[in-house]
Structure 1
């Protein structure tokens, strides 16, 4: 996990986040309407975006590392996605993502996640990727379905934000299922 893995798709460059990205990341994370889906409260200060970028960079140095890509489209940061909580012994990790409101519905996240999943299954030798999604976040559930994920069940009150405990749906994708979807 020494050199950051820059990925390219038809429309995107998936790259390491830098302090220069803080204003765009802050704009995404201060969106109060979207925050119930992100699992955190909205940002109120740009310093929080700088801290989040530092957190994402720090993930790569952990015993169970993670990689968070910035999604660059037409020279602008439109969101992030990543694989984290990598359990090397179990060959598993978690997936998370968010997208700027102006880019939602464009297919950019689907394009990005296909590339990230390809990379994760090949380079990290993953067997399983899981994602946690709020029950009312229907667009993310549909996206995971298009990528071949299976809904496994509900983690009752597994998250806490917006002043209360939140149920989360758990979805998973296994390596042999990803191969079927990629073709």
Structure 2
């Protein structure tokens, strides 16, 4: 990990490994990106995040610490999803997103990952809140955010907005 954040981005069960531009390009091309994925590969949210990461990199705006991470089970070394930021903080806030491959859901892994990136962000000088959005029908994601300490804070463009301060 970079910027001395490696210890912050792991728990007893998971660690978050940076998805670099090279890994993102490999994943978008259908490769495993050098990771052993549960279910054979990342889910669509992780692939979408890789696309955004590559656009930021091409524009010279990519910062690894504020990018995407693979969620890896420490005991098995298996990647089960992705989590990360929608770019560096602006105006005192940053936005997170996450997803898991279907076989990894229901075990609290998304909540752990969301807590890790949220704690990292809130420990960063100048960040006073973290935002996440969910579709109204995505009750499971709303529950993840609730367990990670977020509170619903309205709607934006048809999505529920959640905030943690």
With over 3 angstroms needed to count, the CA separation of the structure-2 counterparts of 1:21 and 1:170, relative to structure 1, is: same
* 1:122 alignment counterpart: 123
Instruction: Please point out which of 24, 32, 57 is paired with 1:21.
Output: 32
Q: Which runs of 5+ in 2 are unaligned?
A: none
Cα deviation, residue 135, structure 1? 0.2
Taking the aligned partners of 1:72 and 1:64, their CA distance within structure 2 comes to 21
| Aligned 1:85-124 pairs, distance under 5 A | 85-88=87-90, 90-123=91-124
Conserved 8 A contact 1:64-1:87: no
| Alignment of 1:169 onto 2:160 | yes
* Rg larger in structure: 1
Cα RMSD of the aligned pairs, angstroms, is 3.2
* 1:69 alignment counterpart: 69
Number of aligned pairs?
146
Instruction: Please point out which of 52, 56, 64 is paired with 2:53.
Output: 56
Higher strand proportion (structure 1 or 2): 1
Q: Which runs of 5+ in 1 are unaligned?
A: 31-37, 41-48, 159-166, 175-183
Which shifted more, 68-77 or 54-63? 54-63
Conserved 8 A contact 1:59-1:67: no
Corresponding residue SS for 2:106 = coil
Corresponding residue SS for 1:9 = coil
Q: TM-score, normalised by structure 2?
A: 0.72
* 1:81 alignment counterpart: 83
Cα deviation, residue 29, structure 1? 2.9
Conserved 8 A contact 1:21-1:77: no
Taking the aligned partners of 1:27 and 1:126, their CA distance within structure 2 comes to 33
Q: TM-score, normalised by structure 1?
A: 0.66
Cα deviation, residue 64, structure 1? 8.4
